[in-house]
Structure 1
Amino acid sequence: MVKKSIFTLLLGILLILGACSDNMNDENEVAEGEEANTEETSTDQTEKENEGEEEPPVTEDNEDNKTQDEKNIEEEAVQEITEPLYKIDDNWNVVPLDEGTNEKVVLLTIDDAPEKYALEMAQTLKKLEAPAIFFVNGHFLETDEKKEQLRQIHEMGFAIGNHTYHHQKLSDVDEETQKQEIMELNDLIEEITGQKPKFFRAPHGENTDYATSLVEEEGMLLMNWTYGYDYFEPYMDAEKLKEAMISGEAPEIEISYSLLKPGANLLMHDREWTAAALEDIVKGLRDKGYEFVDPMTLQVPE
């Protein structure tokens, strides 16, 4: 009887333990199922939310979005990689380096900048897409206003040349003074524009052996001109100057033949009458089939 009671008790205990084990397994399965469902729901919900969101617009890097510094860097990079197409010969003409390069070109240069009209002249040339070299004097760059004008001319893409600090006639002074006239202005131009000038023109076109050697050592191109009339009194008039520059003739100063020819190196100045005639001069030369040389395509000393 006792054995039967013990057997019955043990059987009951085993049944209870089995039931508990089954309940625990069921609970674990339910918990795992709920966790899986939660992950699926979260993933579905995130995907739906993402589907409702619009992709942020991609803004292209166009000219309007670029800072002035970025534009300047790009312009300088283009200038650095431009291959030379022309040289200046012994008679100051612009000559192609290779056959097939356009010969019917002229070079525009403007001296004594920025006195009064240089910025206005640069704006005119920029509008007409006509490149030029602005040869500057240091004594015009002693105020913040004039420095800013030169900076603007440079940022418009025009080449800046050295025309000595005080517009000094170099043959009248010693070598040390010549060096000072050239190097001080080089430093000032580089301070203002961030670039050392690549072109040099002596006042009155009078070079010395010392200045010629120094300019070459500094890697600058020595420059003069083939014709220019705005500093002669009869041509201190916009209409007469326009006719003279387009035709190449200046009968009032006994030049009754035309100096205009392929490769002409044209001299002008920062003057009221020149500024007034400039647009007509550019258009008149183009009407004759001439293109304007980009100074950055001129071969300079290495």
Structure 2
Amino acid sequence: MKKGIFLAIIVFVLMLLCSCSNENKSSEKEQDNIASSNEEVMDKTEENNKDEQDPPVKSDSAQDSVEESNHLVQKEPLYIINDVWFLEPIKEGTNEKVVLLTIDDAPDDHALEMAKTLSELEAPAIFFVNGHFLETEKKKNTLKQIHEMGFAIGNHTFNHQNLTEVDEEIQREEILSLNALINEIIGEKPQFFRAPNGANTDFVKNLVEKEGMLLMNWSYGYDWVSEYQSKQAITEIMLNAPELRNGANLLMHDRPWTSEALADIVKGLRDKGYEIADPATIKTP
């Protein structure tokens, strides 16, 4: 009897131990499953974080495209204006056969039409403006349109005053008041200055330099001379003038005959092998 009871106790104990062992194994398996699941979640979280922190690397072609785009916007200075007002290359290998187009006394009656002609021909130019042409909203809007078409705007004094005939205070006012007006209209100050009749004083030269503008006159121009005040005559002289050579700085005006001839002048210059220089490539102070 005692032996039977003893065996029964042993069997019970063995069964109890087996049950505990199975429970422990089940618990360990569940813990392993939980740990594995947690690791997967952490791995995915780390991958997501990495994607958020590290933007995709651009391909070489994409980076080159961005750099090329920036290069197109930024224009390295290629030319200086020398002592006789011609464009002169800064570095060897730069095209020497160029001419600069400039339009004075704008915007009178034909400046916008001239700008449209030049724009259609993809021919850059500087429009030198007078303040007395900018006293109406219509003319201010005309200047704004010319600027928005991509043309450089230059200072030609407020009243087209011969600066050698007035005192320094008036010289200062003629230049600075127009700078302020141009800045008000187009949002930037002019980089180029040309005095009426090409008449400068030492005071003007110093003031222009202080204002960060480039002093400029011209190589040749004829459209104010009576014998050249027709489309045919001004075209012929601008294309065959003895002063026409590499780097020539061409002076024209906001005049009806010049406006009519402008397209033929540009095409004729190109037929002679001249490139139209971009004012943005001229070195300024």
Per the alignment, residue 231 of structure 2 pairs with 238
Query: 2:167 is matched with which residue: 165, 168, 174?
Result: 174
Q: What are the Cα deviations for residues 177-218 of structure 1, in whole angstroms up to 9, with x where unaligned?
A: 110111122233334444432211112322233222322332
- C-alpha distance in 2 between matches for 1:128 and 1:36: 73
Residues 113-192 of structure 1 mapped to structure 2, 5 A cutoff: 113-192=106-185
Query: 2:257 is matched with which residue: 273, 282, 290?
Result: 273
% identical aligned pairs: 55
Per the alignment, residue 248 of structure 2 pairs with 264
Secondary structure of the equivalent of 2:154? strand
Residues 202-213 of structure 1 mapped to structure 2, 5 A cutoff: 202-213=195-206
- C-alpha distance in 2 between matches for 1:198 and 1:185: 12
Letter in 2 for 1:13: F
Q: Which moved more, 1:93-102 or 1:10-19?
A: 93-102
Query: 1:78 is matched with which residue: 74, 87, 107?
Result: 74
Question: Given the superposition, is the C-alpha separation of residues 37 and 179 from structure 1 closer, same or farther in structure 2, using an over 3 Å criterion?
Answer: closer
TM-score of the two chains, using structure 2 as the length reference: 0.75
Letter in 2 for 1:265: N
Secondary structure of the equivalent of 1:227? coil
Per the alignment, residue 104 of structure 1 pairs with 97
* Contact 1:87–1:96 (CA under 8 A) maintained in structure 2: no
Per the alignment, residue 282 of structure 1 pairs with 266
- C-alpha distance in 2 between matches for 1:178 and 1:222: 14
* Contact 2:100–2:249 (CA under 8 A) maintained in structure 1: yes
* Contact 1:114–1:270 (CA under 8 A) maintained in structure 2: yes
Per the alignment, residue 89 of structure 1 pairs with 83
Per the alignment, residue 280 of structure 2 pairs with 296
Secondary structure of the equivalent of 2:74? helix
- C-alpha distance in 1 between matches for 2:74 and 2:141: 23
1:223 equivalenced with 2:213 (yes/no): no
Letter in 2 for 1:241: I
Question: Given the superposition, is the C-alpha separation of residues 24 and 236 from structure 1 closer, same or farther in structure 2, using an over 3 Å criterion?
Answer: same
Question: Given the superposition, is the C-alpha separation of residues 41 and 261 from structure 1 closer, same or farther in structure 2, using an over 3 Å criterion?
Answer: closer
Per the alignment, residue 48 of structure 2 pairs with none
Letter in 1 for 2:10: L
Per the alignment, residue 21 of structure 1 pairs with 20
1:100, distance to aligned residue in structure 2 (A):
5.6
* Contact 2:81–2:216 (CA under 8 A) maintained in structure 1: no
Q: What are the Cα deviations for residues 261-291 of structure 1, in whole angstroms up to 9, with x where unaligned?
A: 3333211112333222111101111212222
* Contact 2:221–2:250 (CA under 8 A) maintained in structure 1: yes
* Contact 2:107–2:139 (CA under 8 A) maintained in structure 1: yes
1:109, distance to aligned residue in structure 2 (A):
0.5
Letter in 2 for 1:131: P
* Contact 2:78–2:91 (CA under 8 A) maintained in structure 1: no
Question: Given the superposition, is the C-alpha separation of residues 39 and 109 from structure 1 closer, same or farther in structure 2, using an over 3 Å criterion?
Answer: same
- C-alpha distance in 2 between matches for 1:225 and 1:147: 26
Q: Which moved more, 1:139-148 or 1:289-298?
A: 139-148
* Contact 1:89–1:95 (CA under 8 A) maintained in structure 2: no
1:40, distance to aligned residue in structure 2 (A):
11
* Contact 2:124–2:151 (CA under 8 A) maintained in structure 1: yes
- C-alpha distance in 1 between matches for 2:138 and 2:166: 30
1:225, distance to aligned residue in structure 2 (A):
2.0
Letter in 2 for 1:286: R
- C-alpha distance in 2 between matches for 1:216 and 1:222: 8
1:24, distance to aligned residue in structure 2 (A):
1.6
Secondary structure of the equivalent of 1:262? coil
* Contact 1:94–1:106 (CA under 8 A) maintained in structure 2: yes
1:32, distance to aligned residue in structure 2 (A):
5.9
How many pairs are equivalent?
A: 267
1:298, distance to aligned residue in structure 2 (A):
3.3
TM-score of the two chains, using structure 1 as the length reference: 0.71
